[in-house]
Structure 1
Amino acid sequence: MSKRHASKYKIDRRLGVNIFGRSKSPVNKREYGPGQHGQRRKGKMSDFGTQLRAKQKLKGSYGDITEKQFHRIYTEASRMKGDTSANLIGLLESRLDAVVYRSKFVPTIFAARQFVNHGHVKVNGRRTNIGSFRCKVGDVIEIKEASKQLAIVLESVSLAERDVPEYLEVDHGKMTTRFARVPTLSEVPYPVQQEPNLVVEFYSR
């Protein structure tokens, strides 16, 4: 289980945005930070502060993965050919827990990581229990037969609050999904605007 599982709404309050798009987020009612000083007037944010906030938003959208993990992904993205910010999004969306979440097999990215860790998912027929596992184009991800009737799966599939993105070919009848292509930023259904270019600037200082 993610160590942040019980604190997902604190991430929203800290950043001041509903990064998970959840209807119960406290940010929907209180658009200010937590604590007794949360409502104090904020001055103009510096360039560093803007870049840091962009990094926190993007990192938080994937279950607030550790800084070490996130920086490792950025480093890999920067070594790849092409635009680093686009590569960064592609690598993040290729994570197994992200694919499981985007496929609507579970309701949250936190649940996706736990679901994978508990061995409910197969990749190309082989059980894989590492949330950060990198899916490749063409990989078929499926829910283990014994797990297809779990309440969390059936409830999540029926949720109308989010759609499956086009870069995944999902069959909710068979509980399978195919990673059809690496997505662009505009294809990823983030509930809030993400600015990976500012993340690149942050790490390029």
Structure 2
Amino acid sequence: MTKRTSAKYKIDRRMGENIWGRPKSPVNRREYAPGQHGQRRKGKMSDFGLQLRAKQKLKGHYGDLTEKQFRRIFAEAERIKGDTGELLIGLLERRLDAVVYRAKFVPTVFAARQFVNHGHVLVNGKKVNIPSYRVKEGDVIEVREKSKQLASVIEATQLPERDVPDYLEADHSKMTATFVRTPSLADVPFAVQMEPNLVIEFYAQN
């Protein structure tokens, strides 16, 4: 179990938003930050604070990304010609753990990382156990035969709280998903508003 798994709801409370849209999030009950001073921190946020929060929210949504990993992905998005914010989202969504999560093979993005790490996933018929592995359009992601009957997998496919986005074609009877295309920001079913433009501003100034 990763360190961040136990803290996933703390991220929600620090942000004051249910960033994965999960029914168990404490934000559904109280919308203030953790700690004894959490209820008092409602003043107007500075531009830096808004930018930092946007970065933390986006980075936190993808689970166990370190600052170094996130910065590297951002730098790559910056190098490619086009809209840096859209490219950043596209690169994050092409991570294998993100695809496994979006395909509803697992209940959380934290579980997706562990699921991939433990060798439960095949890409185009070959085992891949690197969560950051970048899938390509047309790649077929499949739950390994031995893992298809895991209770957690079966439960995840039936979760009512989220749907499989249309840039993936998922077949839960076969436990396969095809990565159809790289999504734009508008395509990704984030439970809260993500602001990659503020992330760009954050890195431009820091």
Structures share fold, TM-score greater than 0.5: yes
Task: Report matched runs for 1:1-205 at 5 Å.
Answer: 1-205=1-205
Letter in 1 for 2:68: K
Q: How far off its partner does 1:158 sit?
A: 1.2
What is the deviation of 1:43? Answer: 2.1
> How many residues end up aligned between the 2 structures?
205
**Corresponding residue SS for 2:194:** coil
Distance 1:156 1:42 in 2: 35
Report the CA distance shift for 1:49/1:64 in structure 2 as closer, same or farther (over 3 A). farther
Deviations 1:65-108 (A, max 9, x none): 11000000000000001000000000000000000000000000
SS at match of 1:204: helix
The SS at the match of 2:48 is helix
Q: CA RMSD in A?
A: 0.8
CA contact (8 A) 2:64 2:110 kept: no
TM-score normalised over the length of structure 1: 0.98
Q: Letter of the aligned partner of 1:57 in structure 2?
A: K
Structure 2 stretches of 5 or more lacking a match?
A: none
Runs of 4+ in 1 over 2 A off after TM superposition: none
Alignment-mate amino acid for residue 90 of structure 2: G
CA contact (8 A) 1:2 1:113 kept: no
Report the secondary structure of 1:82's partner residue: coil
Secondary structure of 2:38's counterpart equals coil
Give the superposition deviation at 1:9: 0.3
**Which runs of 5 or more structure 1 residues have no equivalent in the other structure?**
none
